[in-house]
């Protein structure tokens, strides 16, 4: 009887999901969130793997970078095919570059019963691992029916997501109790999962993989230095990178830069979080009297103070942190929940960020406690702190010294990998 009820619920879920997807499909195409190619792949048109696999799901660029140490360890230690799925186009592009020869990279399926069954048949997973918080009812319940473990690594539930999920707690509880195990970043996230219906014994605090996931390619660092330093930092100009920005953060940064560039020898590089916004940002740059230049279009022409550079390539932001002097990490003044501030800190760069760090609260806390970053609560504060850093190189060295302690994090990779091995062992 229970199985009949579950299938009935999934039937109505399939119906609602399919109708909703069809309604929003034109908007996905319009906003360049999906292409014909990715849509075909998301319904199961890809070549099946030849043997049992480990399926790792990473939504976008951040998660694709996050899972790198896990994927490397899986490839080194276990004799399985590795399949990596992504949701976004940029995430898929980066995954194909990063994991070429290591894993088969696919698009994540539409969460519809018939499509999920096709994917499970073609991927033939021993275990499915999702990075952070990916709770798809059809996938999780179909895995449960087949006795295939579903694990969440680096799990988190932001405050905004927690409030949304609370409205559908009975549904969330049914999904969560069918997860095999959930490794969470900290006790706050553990409690949120429990409040949404997960059982305490399903949860382990495994730390934050972001402390283990920064693995820059040394050859790439040298390539970026050789190609861009003479252009972005001519005559000892200093480079300010505004990274992972959201609307209206580019406008805020441009206002500040317009004032400071008149008195400081400064170059600005904007790296918007969503590349599809670049055309709009270029209009904002022109409106301020500057010339927008995309990094992908750079040639050996002469550039000057009236130029503002835009990072329009995927997966290269980390390497521009290596050559910058100061950076601001976005999503923090726009109320978007923030982005990863560890990457510039890895290169010992002073990092400014706003108060909206709900998605990275534990990292922000550690950074501020170590005095390795600067919290700015308003555009005016951002301008003031940036000006101080530009004038006082000694302060920048202080932040660099403090940054060296940040990565003394417990072995999150080891804890997460142990959880994966236990999950595999249970199904043997």
Catalytic residue list: 63
Rounded distance between C-alpha atoms, residue 331 and residue 320, angstroms:
18
82 contacts 104 by C-beta, under 8 angstroms: yes
Peptide bond into 248 cis (omega under 30): yes
- Encoding tokens for residue 345? 């800190």
**Rg for the chain, CA atoms, rounded:** 23
Please name the helix (run of DSSP H) or strand (run of DSSP E) that holds residue 414, with its range, or none.
Answer: helix 412-426
- Encoding tokens for residue 313? 């390539």
Rounded distance between C-alpha atoms, residue 373 and residue 367, angstroms:
6
Rounded distance between C-alpha atoms, residue 2 and residue 22, angstroms:
30
Q: Across the beta sheet with 326-329, what order do the strands follow?
A: 291-294, 307-310, 266-272, 238-245, 326-329, 351-353, 374-375
Find the DSSP H helices in 233-341: 249-260, 278-287, 317-321
359: nearest Cα among 50, 34, 59, 13: 59
361: nearest Cα among 345, 379, 337, 382: 337
66: nearest Cα among 148, 129, 143: 129
374 contacts 353 by C-beta, under 8 angstroms: yes
Beta bridge partners of residue 58, listed in sequence order: none
Rounded distance between C-alpha atoms, residue 320 and residue 324, angstroms:
6
């Amino acid at each position: 009887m229970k199985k009949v009820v579950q299938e009935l619920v999934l039937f109505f879920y399939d119906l609602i999901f399919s109708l909703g997807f069809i309604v929003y499909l034109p908007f996905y195409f319009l906003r360049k969130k999906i292409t014909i190619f990715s849509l075909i792949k998301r319904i199961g048109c890809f070549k099946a793997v030849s043997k049992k696999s480990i399926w790792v799901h990473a939504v976008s660029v951040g998660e694709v970078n996050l899972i790198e140490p896990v994927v490397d360890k899986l490839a080194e230690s276990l004799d399985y095919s590795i399949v990596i799925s992504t949701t976004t186009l940029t995430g898929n592009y980066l995954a194909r570059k990063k994991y070429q020869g290591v894993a088969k990279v696919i698009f994540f399926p539409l969460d519809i019963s018939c499509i999920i069954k096709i994917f499970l048949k073609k991927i033939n997973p021993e275990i499915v691992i999702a990075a952070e918080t990916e709770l798809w009812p059809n996938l999780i319940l179909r895995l449960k029916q087949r006795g295939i473990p579903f694990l969440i690594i680096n799990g988190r539930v932001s405050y905004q997501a927690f409030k949304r999920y609370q409205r559908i707690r009975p549904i969330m509880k049914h999904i969560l109790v069918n997860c095999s195990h959930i490794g969470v970043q900290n006790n706050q996230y553990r409690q949120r999962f429990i409040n949404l219906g997960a059982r305490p014994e399903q949860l382990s605090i495994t730390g934050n993989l972001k402390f283990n996931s920064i693995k820059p390619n040394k050859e790439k660092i040298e390539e970026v230095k050789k190609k861009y330093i003479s252009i972005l930092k001519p005559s000892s100009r200093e480079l300010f990178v505004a990274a992972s920005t959201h609307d209206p953060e580019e406008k805020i940064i441009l206002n500040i830069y317009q004032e400071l560039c008149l008195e400081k020898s400064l170059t600005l590089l904007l790296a918007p979080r969503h590349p599809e916004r670049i055309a709009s940002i270029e209009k904002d740059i022109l409106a301020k009297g500057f010339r927008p230049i995309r990094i992908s279009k750079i040639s050996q022409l002469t550039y000057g103070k009236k130029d503002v550079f835009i990072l329009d390539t995927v997966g290269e932001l980390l390497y521009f942190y290596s050559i910058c002097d100061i950076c601001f990490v976005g999503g923090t003044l726009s109320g978007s929940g923030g982005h990863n501030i560890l990457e510039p800190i890895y290169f010992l760069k002073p990092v400014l960020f706003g108060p909206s760090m709900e998605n990275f609260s534990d990292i922000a806390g550690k950074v501020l406690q170590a005095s390795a970053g600067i919290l700015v609560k308003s555009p005016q504060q951002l301008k003031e702190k940036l000006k101080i850093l530009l004038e006082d190189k000694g302060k920048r060295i202080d932040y660099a010294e403090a940054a060296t302690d940040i990565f003394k994090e417990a072995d999150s990779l080891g804890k997460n990998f142990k959880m994966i091995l236990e999950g595999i062992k249970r199904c043997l």
